[in-house]
């Protein structure tokens, strides 16, 4: 297995942990992790030499970009929304976002996936800053760096695929921990930060 495969394995493990730990409490977050995790598992197979899954891996990656990232951004920004707290709500959002995204990408709007990912990352960053969530802010920064590395592609001095996978894994873990902290604030088990100003 090459570096891309190994880094996809790390991403798959992080996603697996998120699915197991959060699907029941935060189905929106769990479903976003499931989609990214599915792409990562296919990536492990692909980069492990099982070339047959190249097409499905590319499709799952595209679906993650157009549906999982915006779902993640939504869930982190509005954790009480039906899309965040109901599996049915999250699944409907994935269907709509995925349907529009896949259709747009395949019919020639090639920038749709990257644009949606960047907007989602920026929205996550704004949310974490507004929430003054340090763990979340670090997670958002790592996510933006990972997406920028992916955009740099072959022009970069490093293996952009590996950086994307590891960055995503780290970002997802940090954002999940940050959102957990946020939930505990709301439930009152951790003292809220003092008001601003």
- Per CB under 8 A, does 20 bind other proteins? no
Report in angstroms the alpha-carbon separations of 42 from 38, 49, 175: 6, 11, 23
Question: d(Cα 167, Cα 189) in Å, to the nearest integer?
Answer: 30
Closest distance to other proteins from the beta carbon of 103 (Å): 5
Q: Looking at 20, 95, 109, 156, which residue binds other proteins (CB under 8 A)?
A: 95
Contact 65, 6 (CB under 8 A): no
The length of the chain is 197
- Per CB under 8 A, does 109 bind other proteins? no
DSSP run (H or E) holding 24: none
- Per CB under 8 A, does 102 bind other proteins? yes
CB closer to other proteins out of 124 and 163: 124
Closest distance to other proteins from the beta carbon of 42 (Å): 10
- Per CB under 8 A, does 76 bind other proteins? no
Look up residue 55 and give its two tokens: 């097409």
Q: Looking at 1, 20, 103, 190, which residue binds other proteins (CB under 8 A)?
A: 103
Most distant pair of Cα atoms in the chain: their distance: 57
- Nearest 5°: the CA angle 152, 43, 175 is 70
CB closer to other proteins out of 126 and 190: 126
- Contact positions toward other proteins, by CB under 8 A? 52-53, 55-56, 58-59, 78, 81-83, 86, 88-89, 92-93, 95-96, 98-99, 102-103, 106-107
């Amino acid at each position: 297995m090459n570096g891309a495969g190994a880094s996809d394995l790390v991403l798959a493990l992080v996603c697996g942990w998120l699915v197991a730990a959060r699907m029941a409490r935060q189905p929106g977050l769990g479903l976003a992790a499931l989609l990214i995790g599915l792409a990562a598992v296919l990536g492990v197979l692909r980069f492990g030499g099982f070339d047959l899954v190249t097409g499905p891996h590319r499709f799952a990656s595209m679906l993650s970009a157009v549906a999982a990232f915006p779902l993640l951004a939504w869930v982190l920004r509005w954790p009480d929304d039906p899309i965040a707290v109901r599996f049915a709500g999250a699944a409907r959002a994935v269907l709509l976002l995925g349907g529009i995204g896949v259709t747009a990408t395949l019919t020639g709007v090639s920038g749709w996936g990257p644009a949606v990912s960047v907007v989602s990352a920026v929205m996550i960053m704004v949310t974490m800053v507004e929430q003054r969530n340090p763990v979340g802010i670090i997670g958002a920064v790592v996510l933006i760096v990972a997406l920028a590395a992916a955009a740099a592609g072959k022009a970069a001095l490093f293996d952009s695929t590996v950086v994307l996978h590891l960055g995503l894994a780290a970002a997802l873990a940090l954002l999940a921990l940050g959102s957990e902290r946020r939930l505990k604030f709301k439930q009152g088990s951790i003292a809220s930060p003092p008001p601003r100003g």
